[in-house]
Structure formats: structure tokens, C-alpha cells
Amino acid sequence: MQEIGLIGLGRMGANMARRLSRAGLKLAVCNRTAEVAHTLAAEEANLRAVESYEALVDSLPAPRIVWLMLPAGEATETALQALFGLLSPGDLLVDGANAYYQDSMRHAEDLAAKGVEFVDAGVSGGVWGLDNGYALMLGGAPQSVARLRPLIEALAPAPDKGWVHCGPAGSGHFAKMVHNGIEYGMMQALAEGLALMKSKTEFDFDLAEVSEAWRHGSVVRSWLLDLTAEVLKQDQDLEKIQPYVADSGEGRWTALEAINQKVPAPVMSLALMMRYASQGNNDYPAKLLAMMRNAFGGHKVEPAK
């Protein structure tokens, strides 16, 4: 396959470049911090560092394939605007960010007006993707996805497993959005269940042993449980960890989409709300609740520490 361009060498992008390189594919790699690209290219035989979008596009054979692995939002929008003026008819642009699917539909339409093909790629696998492969959810025209087959088959866990052409532009990022909403719910359920067991002090559960047992034959066995069991082997009290859980935006989009479509999704929505609560956003409502109880029943209010 011809050399392709990969822009964005964060945790996901850098490991994707490594996996593609080790599959024998050649890449020109570019990052906001040029030193990162040069360091990575020095590690892998099939990688070549470039220092600007212009240099990347000029150096690739036409018709070009350029894959973005940048944070969704401003970073991706800025890159797309820059590349819009550089790419030519027949080129193919792939957005592998956790982007909002309606933005991807708009990008596809804008690029099509210039004759540039577009594929939105939902990518899952995290820091383990280098060794285990990535789950890929792809949206775009069939001929565009076909052009990416060598890349897809190298990135996926196996050439015929772990990837799907979901449908037209936007569908890949829509599938990834729902995937992450499900992830929120699964994580919340595991966390709540194990917390309930930990609070039952009279039984003195060894959560590492319980979660390890669940990994084998149980209907709740999963990769998330595998990772959780490993965490609990190292530390069950987690006293050095702040009870703060970030949200990337995908869970929020999933909840909003459920509202817009009038599809009940209480588990995913409540899991998102629990993340907001962990970020301190439940502190003021809880104070108001305490004051309401005091007002109608004279119940004690705990002073701030």
C-alpha cells in the first residue's frame, strides 16, 4: 500500500502508528510538537516525521490518504480547516477522533464539495490497542472504506474481526458514541456492586478474589472486569485516589440523543449523572437538601469541614 499520513501522536495515535509500522505499512507522521514525531520515527522503521500539514500533504503520493487522531472539537476543526485548503480531489481524509456524529456528517458534505472523500472512524482499544488491536467503527462510502482495508485489517484484532463498516458518513462516530455510553453504564454497575460488597464489613469480602472468580464462567465477565480485577489485586482501599471521574463528552451526546429520539436510556444517563456528581456538581444540591430537611423537620445540618 502507498504511504499514508497520520496526524496526532497522542496515546492512541502513537500506538496506532506503531501497530501499522510493525505490519509493514509506511507512514508520514505529524504532531503539534514536532519532536514527538521525530522521536517516534526514530523508533520505527516505516515511519517518517514531517513538521507541518503542508509538508505532509506535499510529500504523499496522490491520491492521498490522511488519518487524523486528534482530540474532538477545536483541535480537529482547526486541522480540518487547514487540510481543506491543501487536499485535492480524489484524496481521502479519515477522522479517528471521538467526534460528534453530526459534525462528521457536516465535514463529509464540505469535503465532498471539493471532491475529497471522508471516513469517520470510531476507534476503541485505549492503551492496549498496540498489542490487542483496535475495534473500528467506520462511516463513509463503500469505496472509501475499501481504500482503507489494508490499514483497517492491520489495526483490528484480526483482519476479519473487530471492525465494521456501519453505513454512511457519521454512522461510525454515532456507533462509537453509543459504545461509550454503554461503557459508562457497565463501569458504573461494576463500581456500585463492588462498593456494596466492600461496605458489608461483617463478611470481610476480598474483592480481588471475588472479581477474579467472576472473570471465569460468570455472565458479567468482560475486559472491564479483567482490568478491575487487576486494579483490586494491587489496592482494594484506593485511599490515594480522588473520587473524581471525568467525562469525555461521548456519554453526554448519548444521553442527549436518547432524549431527542425518545428512546429510554436510564442506565447510561444515570451513569453520566454520577460522573457529574463525582466532579463536585452535586455538592450544592446536597447542601440545599440538607437545609430543606432542617427547615421542615429541624434535622441537624452538618457544618462544612
**Residue 249: which pLDDT band, with cuts at 50, 70 and 90?**
confident
Per-residue confidence (pLDDT) for residue 305, from 0 to 100: 82
pLDDT in tens, 40-54: 999 999 999 999 999
Is pTM beyond 0.85? Reply is yes
Mark whether 262 is an active-site residue. no
Mark whether 250 is an active-site residue. no
Cβ atoms of 54 and 73 closer than 8 Å: no
Q: What is the mean pLDDT of residues 255-274?
A: 96
Per-residue confidence (pLDDT) for residue 248, from 0 to 100: 83
Q: What is the mean pLDDT of residues 29-36?
A: 96
Q: Which of 117, 176, 250, 257 is catalytic?
A: 176
CA–CA separation, 136 and 41 (whole Å): 24
Per-residue confidence (pLDDT) for residue 1, from 0 to 100: 76
CA–CA separation, 237 and 141 (whole Å): 50
**Residue 92: which pLDDT band, with cuts at 50, 70 and 90?**
very high
Q: Which of 3, 44, 77, 183 is catalytic?
A: 183
Could you tell me the domains of the chain? 4-168 (3.40.50.720), 177-294 (1.10.1040.10)
How far CA 226 is from CA of 124, 189, 207, 229, 233, in Å, comes to 17, 14, 13, 5, 11
pLDDT in tens, 190-214: 999 999 999 999 999 999 999 999 9
